[in-house]
Structure 1
Amino acid sequence: MARLRESRLRILVTGGAGFLGSHLIDRLLAEGHDVLCVDNLFTGSKQNIEHLNLHPRFEFMRHDVTFPLYVEVDEIYNLACPASPFHYQHDPVQTTKTSVHGAINMLGLAKRLRCRILQASTSEVYGDPAQHPQTESYWGNVNPIGPRSCYDEGKRCAETLFFDYHRQHDLQIKVARIFNTYGPRMHHADGRVVSNFVVQALKGDPLTIYGDGQQSRSFCYVDDLIDGLIRLMRSDDSVTGPVNLGNPEEFTIKELAEKIISRTGAASGLIRSPSPVDDPMQRRPDISLAGSLLGWRPEVRLDDGLDRTIAYFRSRMDEILAI
């Protein structure tokens, strides 16, 4: 049973200037809460939160979560970490530190305040899965020493820390395993497949497919994902997770490229490049647990979500082309 949220809370969102964080903050403010947004702006952008500059219940603090933070809040959403391969491989040591030191610092804060804390984990904890679709009980197939390991293993270690704090200090934790999410405010050059394809199509360039394009992914629209995070945070104390949050509809990368070409009206073709190291061949969440515990299921179909995402990037093409 979900907890009632009738009073105004002061909520900390780390990584709040990022793609997911900024959408989460919009929802929390709309519900009447006070929000402290913390971000070091490595991948986050002030542009994502500039519409909130004059909001009376919004506060921004530039801070790196690998250093301790001393604030007073009622809840913590820990979203801080580069999430795209291009960004998290740029400085892999810092990526690991953000996941591990960041988790330690935010858990320490939650312990001091005796408040609940949600960890934004990832489907990457499953690695290149031997189980399909992936359930939360699956332990994963992760390379611990590859170029993606800074993110995959960093997030796995963060989950370990969350559950150890829960067992050792009786901390109220929530762990969400987030699958591929897309929508407005994605960074145009983050290297993720939806943003890559949309920007390439709008520019009239060929769409770059890595490998044969038969690897599969499932794509969750950002509004659905944010709804899942909030439902998880507000769930009964006994619900710790991990809980998969994603859209179980599965598409090959080639199918996605063809959809985006069609929906943009582009004349783009396809070009192929070698697959990145340790790129998983298939990824689809089993969301039975989210359905039974949270009453959650994504509602936005891929075609509708792509139309909204394309419209966002189309509105920013002059700016993108000028960079």
Structure 2
Amino acid sequence: MAKRILITGGAGFLGSHLCDRFIGEGYHVIAMDNLITGDMRNIEHLLSLPNFEFYHHDVTKFIHLPGELDYILHFASPASPIDYLKIPIQTLKVGAMGTHNCLGLAKAKRARILVASTSEVYGDPLVHPQTEEYWGNVNPVGPRGVYDEAKRYLESITMAYHNFHGVETRIIRIFNTYGPRMRLNDGRALPAFIGQALRGEDLTVFGDGSQTRSFCYVDDLVDGIYRLLLSDYHLPVNIGNPSEISLLDFAEEVLALTGGEVGITFKPLPADDPKQRKPDITKAREILGWEPKVGRKEGLRRTFEYFKTLPSEEWSRQPKEFVSMK
């Protein structure tokens, strides 16, 4: 009998790719999403499958699922800077109440749960690259605090359930990830750049563009999640691509990819925007035998090809303001 796995945030960017992976591995997948940032188009190709179910539900409310459950992947959360400003309370609630409900379900079902944390727990880091032992430099009352602190709480309550209730838990710290099904206009660096290029606009770079990010292609990330879930390691693990690049150089790469004849516009750096971001993936290599395989050039090509297939009216819309380059 197929193992049953619940994936919260299952209609989102990462959640939908996880649904695909676990369907491909022979699991019975239950996706759950309140669609506040998720999109049914991401999973419509799965709806007719007998080993796939979808529940339209908000995980900050009590979760009831009939039958046995083997695994839970908790990926329900807004994940872009624009979301933090538009829905800050919901961002905090899904990290706190939503995680509490998922952990309670894991305890009741005796299921193993993997929770999605983030490199944002490191804040604007004073250690580079970031190892799992670094505690971070986070402003709890800044504009990013609702997301950063929600994820730090997520880690704390997960460890409490592991230590006090004996729940089998796994914690992944996700670094910048990109690929098909990203929301084109969510304010993050790659979709923001590609959206502007498609509209024939100058690309917006904040500050002088010297701040760095490390971009991991979604297929690599999903493989890391799969390996961590099935591992015996319960402490946080960084999953990301350590290939570091400045946002100015990244904008230049996108311009070269899209063939646009536009330029680059500079705007003031947002509050608490991290100056450096690069994962130390020693633990992932040693414990999971994992490291990224898709280079940035190939990953960008695949992502751009996806965005070009979207209806023109979708990429012609732009957010009211690009607020960060997460």
Which range, TM-score by smaller chain? over 0.9
Q: 1:303 aligns with which of 283, 297, 306?
A: 297
Is 1:141 the counterpart of 2:142 in the alignment? Answer: no
CA distance in 2, matches of 1:180, 1:89: 19
Is 1:89 the counterpart of 2:76 in the alignment? Answer: no
Which segments of 5 or more consecutive residues in structure 2 lack a partner in the other structure?
318-326
Mapping 1:34-45, distance limit 5 Å: 34-45=28-39
The amino acid of 2:103's aligned partner reads L
Residue aligning to 1:3: none
Q: CA deviation at 1:241?
A: 2.3
CA distance in 2, matches of 1:147, 1:255: 26
Q: CA deviation at 1:319?
A: 4.0
CA distance in 2, matches of 1:246, 1:321: 27
Q: 2:95 aligns with which of 73, 77, 99?
A: 99
CA distance in 2, matches of 1:278, 1:150: 12
Residue aligning to 2:172: 176
Mapping 1:1-323, distance limit 5 Å: 8-71=2-65, 72=67, 73-236=69-232, 239-321=233-315
Secondary structure (helix, strand or coil) at the match of 1:226 reads: helix
Alignment identity in percent? Answer: 53
For each residue in 1:285-318, what CA deviation from the matched residue of structure 2 results, as whole angstroms up to 9, or x when unmatched? 0000000000000000000000000000011142
After superposing the two structures, state which structure 1 stretch, 216-225 or 89-98, moved more. 89-98
The amino acid of 2:223's aligned partner reads D
Distance 1:319 1:49, change over 3 A: farther
CA distance in 1, matches of 2:212, 2:172: 21
Distance 1:317 1:212, change over 3 A: farther
The amino acid of 1:129's aligned partner reads P
CA distance in 2, matches of 1:13, 1:310: 27
Secondary structure (helix, strand or coil) at the match of 2:133 reads: coil
For each residue in 1:29-67, what CA deviation from the matched residue of structure 2 results, as whole angstroms up to 9, or x when unmatched? 011111110000000000111111211111111101101
For each residue in 1:261-286, what CA deviation from the matched residue of structure 2 results, as whole angstroms up to 9, or x when unmatched? 00111111000111111000000000
Does the CA contact (< 8 Å) of 2:195 and 2:316 recur in 1? no
Task: Give the ranges of 4+ consecutive aligned residues of structure 1 lying more than 3 Å apart after TM superposition.
Answer: none
Q: CA deviation at 1:233?
A: 0.2
> TM-score, normalized by length of structure 2?
0.95
For each residue in 1:138-160, what CA deviation from the matched residue of structure 2 results, as whole angstroms up to 9, or x when unmatched? 00000011111010001000100
The size of the alignment, in residue pairs, is 315
Q: CA RMSD in A?
A: 1.0
Does the CA contact (< 8 Å) of 1:183 and 1:306 recur in 2? yes
> TM-score, normalized by length of structure 1?
0.96
The amino acid of 2:265's aligned partner reads I
Secondary structure (helix, strand or coil) at the match of 2:113 reads: strand
CA distance in 2, matches of 1:241, 1:312: 35
Which segments of 5 or more consecutive residues in structure 1 lack a partner in the other structure?
1-6
The amino acid of 1:302's aligned partner reads R
Q: CA deviation at 1:230?
A: 0.4
Q: CA deviation at 1:173?
A: 0.3
CA distance in 2, matches of 1:8, 1:185: 27
CA distance in 1, matches of 2:212, 2:93: 30
Does the CA contact (< 8 Å) of 1:89 and 1:150 recur in 2? no
Secondary structure (helix, strand or coil) at the match of 2:181 reads: coil
The amino acid of 1:82's aligned partner reads P
